[in-house]
Each structure stands twice: as structure tokens, then as C-alpha cells.
A and B are shown apart, each in its own frame.
Chain A
Amino acid sequence: MKFAEKIIWSCLIILSILFSIGSSVLIYQNHHNLLQSTLKHNLSTHEIEVYSLETRLFQDSLEYSMSFGQDQSKMMNKAIYYLEQFRYTSQTKKTYGLSLPDKSIFYSNIDNQFSQYISVDYNQKYFIKHKDHQYKMFITSKINTGKDIYYLTSCYDMTSVYQDRDRQIINFLIISIILYTVAYTILRFLSSYLTQSIHKLNAVTKRIANGDYSERTCIKSDDEIGELSKSFDEMAEMNEKKIHQLEESVIQKEEFMGSFSHEVKTPMTTILGFADLLRTCDCDIKTRQKAAQYIYTEGKRLEKLSYTLMDLLSLSDQQIQLIPVNFQTIIKQLKEDYDKKDINCLLKFDSCDQWVKSQPELLFTLLRNLIDNAIKASKEGQTISLQTSVQDGYMKVSIIDEGIGMNEEDVQKATEAFYMADKSRSRSLGGAGLGLTIVKRICEAHQTTLSIQSQLNVGTTISFELEVLDYEEE
């Protein structure tokens, strides 16, 4: 059963129950009041009639006992005459019966089937009897005519009172049927209007399930459905964002894997090719030497790539704990490191005795990667300088070279994995294009961004910021 129908039927059932109870009470009360007033009216009429009959008969009996003496039948005729008079003057439908104390009935125009109720036994009583859809009220009173005693039984027709009740009931039924039909129609429209937003929610859910993540319900209302749709839209928004992120990371991973496989495939081809040559034929010493040399250098390249990848992986895996690091110590390490190497460029380091929030190994890797890049970009005799400046609790570290520089497009792509501005050149210097990717990751771990300014053939300045700490070595 649909929700709309549930609403309709539950409303109709409640409505019909309450309406019936209300109407029943009303009809019953109406009927009761009418019955009571009719009864009262009939009683008073009866009383008046009895009183007037008694008075007249008493006067008559006085008259008769003087002139005619005792004449019972005449008295009776007189009584009947008066009753006939009453009957014709009265507006209400009524009949009479007269009986004697010995229970004999001497006059009656009451329907025969009710004649049993004309009796002395019912003196000073009233009751209602019904037979064949006819309701009759009977009142019996004693009439004292001086000498004789009669019993007058008035029979009032009460059918109209009961008919009135029945009519009301039928009317009620007809009205209820009409009302229910109207109510059903109204409820139908109302519920379909109310459930319209539910239908919309449902449709949107289905569309989202089918992969259309940008779908929204956009139902604006203050009720629960409005709230639900608002929460639903929020959820859909979150989902869309998450899915978008996932898709992006998948694309990034694919790109990374593509570049990675390219980086691996090239040395692999060389190694396999030369090894195949060596194992197939007994070549001369010169070829053999050349092949072995290639296998060695390409193998080295693979080794270096794997180490760099390991660095990258460990960076993305672990949560990095930042501790106070003396910047001067790191610079000292770098100096020692580069002193051992044979470098054609001039390295200038600013001395800066500050404590920064970082991690010694990472900071070292970060700076070394940047300096390595600068060296690769520089020609013989050019200067590479590491400058520092402290401002607002942050230390800005810049590595400045006078080398070949990059164009704008290269600057934007510089931190992408495996990106090399000048592929053949950096290859020949042993790079795989991962240096700046690592640098970027380390910077992310320090919550700082890497800014690159570069101009072709003028040089490159790469800088980042570190938080300065007030720290005394114990």
C-alpha cells in the first residue's frame, strides 16, 4: 500500500468514527428532547382534558340527578360526546377509550390491536407502545363524575417523533457518504501534494545510484521532508566531493604509474638488450665492455630510482613529528656533504643560528634536493646561494641560482612526479624527475608551500617558510 493511500485511509477511518459518534449523540439528544417535550405536552393536554371532562360531567351529573335522576347511559353518552368534541378541536392525532372500574370498555376509538391497554390497571400511568411501526402513548386517569367513576385512556400518536429520528439517521448516512467522498478527493490531492517531495527524493536517489552524482533534490520547505532533503543534499555533496577526490587521486596514481613505468622501462630495455647480446654470442672484448658498462649504469639508475621512490613512499606513509631543529646544524651537515663532492659551482650559505620547527633528516633532504636541482641547472662557476630571513615568527629560506631557469609552463609542472623540464639534460645528470615531488611532500608535512620564481637563462629562486621557535639547548 502506498504512503498516500495509507494517509487517506487512516484519515477516513478516524473521520468516520468520530463523525458517527458525534452525530449519534446529537441525534439521540434531539430525539430525547423531542420525546420529552411531546410527552410533557401530551400529559398536560391529557390533564386539561381530564379536568374539563370531570368538571363538565360533574355539572351534568348534578343537572341529571335533579331532572332525570340517575341515568348512567346518558352520562356515558355525554362523556362520549365531550370526548368527540375534544378529538375534533384538537390538532394532534389522538384517540380515546373509556372504561369502567369493572374493566368493561364502553367507549373506544383506539385501534383494536392496542385495546388491551385500555384498562383500570394502568391508572395514573403513562407508557409508550409500538406495533407495526406505530408508536402510541397511553395515559390513563380516573374521572370522578360525582356518582360514577370512569377511567379515561388517551392514546397519542408518537410515530412522528420516532419517524423524525429515523429520518435524521438516514439523512446522517447520506450526508456522511457525500462527506466521505469529498474528504477522499481532498485527501487524495493533499497526500499526493505532500508525498510529491518524497517521490522527488526517491527519483533523485535513483539517479545518484545510477552514477549521476551532481543530482540534488533542492526541496525548500521547513518540514521534516525539507530537513531530510537538506541532509540528503549535504550527503550527496559530500559523496560527490569524495568521489571526485578519489577519481582525481586515481588519475594522479595512473599518471604516476605511467611515468614510473616509463622511467623503469627505459633502463630495463637497455639492460635486457645488452644482457641478451652478451649471452647470445661470444662478442669481442670492446662490445662486451660497452654492454657491461651500459648494464651497470642503467642498473644504477634503477637503483637510484628505487631509493627515491622509497623516500617518497615513506613520506606519504608516516605521520611526521616536528621537533625543534637548529638550522645552523643542518647547514653545517650540508656544507660537509657538498665539500666531499666535486662541484663546479660556488655554494654560499647564510649562517642562521635559529631553531625551527622541523625534522632534521627531512629538512636535510629538502635542502639537498633543492641545492642538487640548482647545481643541475647551473653552469660552471655560477653561484648558488642559500639565503634566510626571519619575519613574524617565520623563517624564509630561499635557494637562488643563476642557471638556465624555466619557463612558466615548466614552473607549474615542476613538482609533478617524473616531470623534467629538460629531459635529456637532467637524465644525463642522473635525475628521474622526483626531486621536487619529494620536496613538495616535505613542505606539505611542514604546512608550508613552495614558491618558485624562475626566468629562462636568468636563474631560479625557490623558497619556503619554516616556523621559528624560542628554544634553548639544554
Chain B
Amino acid sequence: MKILIVEDEQSIADLMIMNLIRAGYQCDYASDGKIGADKIEENVYDLILLDIMLPEIDGYELMEYIEPMNIPVIFITAKGSVKERVKGLHMGADDYLVKPFSIDELIARVESVLRRYHKGMEEIHILDAVIDTNKRCVYQHQQLIDLTNMEYELLLFLVRNKNMALYRDVLYQKVWHEDIYEQTRTLDLHIQRLRKKLGWQKQIKTVYKIGYMLEVSDEVC
């Protein structure tokens, strides 16, 4: 899955690249519209993240160039007015991301756009399980595993951040979208149930003083 990022702000581009790579995508980077156009010419991309205010060729111009190629595009810009958004979407963009955006939002939108194009990781194969993100179902050895909604969300988050030690309270916050830090007991409970249901007692590790981590050795993956 190859994504092209056209963004003149080095810092933001770096941030996006780091997180997209972490989420399992391949990334390419262009610092202005001209380089972006060249790259689109040379390579085949599954998705383009396009900044609007670009030096040389701006995002809208580049969009006109991309449109006939049927490559999904997400606009990324600081111009968040309804007029601007409508303009962008009318030009053929698939989604619109307004700065400042959170990384989770970026990943979610990238996924949803790719899903729409049936390019996305509809099925995530992890360890001995298969996650169908369209049906929101988890299979293990062709057997449907019965998970609650929150358990599914938690699993998805762990899978997306596999091999990374995740802080407990942030984990709780991001899955449950609540700011109460003390309620991490709920998290512990869900982790225990996930371990039991999937039989991943070892794979979902407790990291001392930090939180949890889904460990997937590269050989198995």
C-alpha cells in the first residue's frame, strides 16, 4: 500500500510519514507540487495526501492533474472554512483533513478512503487471527470470535500499534475516547478478556510501569 505525501512543511510530512509507516503503509514524500507531479508520473500510488498551499504548483492545480488518474486524494490544509472544503471535495478529493489534525484521525481517514476504493486492508492478518474491518468481525481458525464493541476497538488499536509498548491511560483514552485517567481498571478487564477469547496470553504482554503491548515476532507475521 503506497501513499504519496505532498506537503511543504517538513515537520508535518515527517510526522505523517512516521505514523503511516508505523501503521503499515509505504510512504513517498514530495516537498512541492512540481516534485509531486513528477512522482505521480513515475510511480503508482494507492493514495495521495495533498496539501493545498504548496510552492510552485498548488494543491488545487495538482488535483486537476490527478483527477483523471482515479487515485484517491485526501486534502490536508489549514483552510478549514466550509467553502474551501466544498471546493476541495467538488474537485474530486475523497476527504478533507483540516490542520491541526490528530494522527489517529489521519490514519482513520486514510483507512476509510482506501476501504471505499476496496484497496484498504479489509482483512488484517495477525498471528493466527483475521480481522475483517468491513464487517468488524474477528476470525480465528475460520471460527468467529465473539467480541464486544469495545473489545474489538481495543484489539484494532493494539494491532495497529503492534510491537509498541502503549501507555495504559493513553490507551484507555484513545479507545474509549474519555478523559478519565483513573478508570484504567476497565482497560485491564478488557485486556484480560481479549487474552482469554483469543488465547493470546503471551502475545498481549504487560509492560512494567508502562502498559500493554501486542508482540508479534516478524517471523510469525
Contact = CB atoms under 8 A, between A and B. Distances in A.
B156 interface: no
Given A272-B100, A280-B166, A297 B55 contact: no
Interface stretch (B7-15, B37-45, B59-67): B7-15
Interface residues on B, range: 20 to 34
B78 A266 contact: yes
Given A262-B78, A281-B161, A268 B99 contact: yes
A298 to B, nearest CB: 6
A273 B14 CA distance: 10
Interface string B141-167: 000000000000000000001001111
A273 B105 CA distance: 11
Contacts of B11: 266-267, 270, 294, 297-298
B91 interface: no
B6 to A, nearest CB: 13
A424 interface: yes
Contact of A272 (B19, B31, B102): B102
> Interface SS of chain A: helix, strand, loop or mixed?
helix
A423 B161 contact: no
Contacts of B14: 290, 294
A134 interface: no
Contacts of A281: 161, 164-167
A261 interface: yes
A431 to B, nearest CB: 14
Contact of B167 (A258, A280, A297, A427): A280
B53 A270 contact: no
A279 interface: yes
Given A266-B99, A272-B100, A287-B18, A280 B9 contact: no
A359 B121 CA distance: 65
Most buried by B among A262, A265, A269, A279: A269
Interface in B56-85: 78-79
A229 to B, nearest CB: 41
A267 B15 CA distance: 11
A269 B8 contact: no
Contact of A269 (B100, B207, B210): B100
A282 B165 contact: yes
Contact of B210 (A282, A298, A423, A424): A282
Interface string B17-50: 0110000000000011000000000000000000
A277 B55 contact: no
Top 4 A-B pairs, shortest CB-CB distance: A282-B165, A262-B78, A269-B100, A281-B164
25 contacts: A261-B78, A262-B78, A262-B99, A265-B99, A266-B9, A267-B11, A268-B100, A269-B101, A270-B9, A270-B12, A272-B100, A273-B15, A274-B15, A276-B103, A280-B166, A280-B174, A281-B165, A281-B167, A282-B166, A290-B14, A294-B14, A298-B11, A423-B55, A424-B8, A427-B8
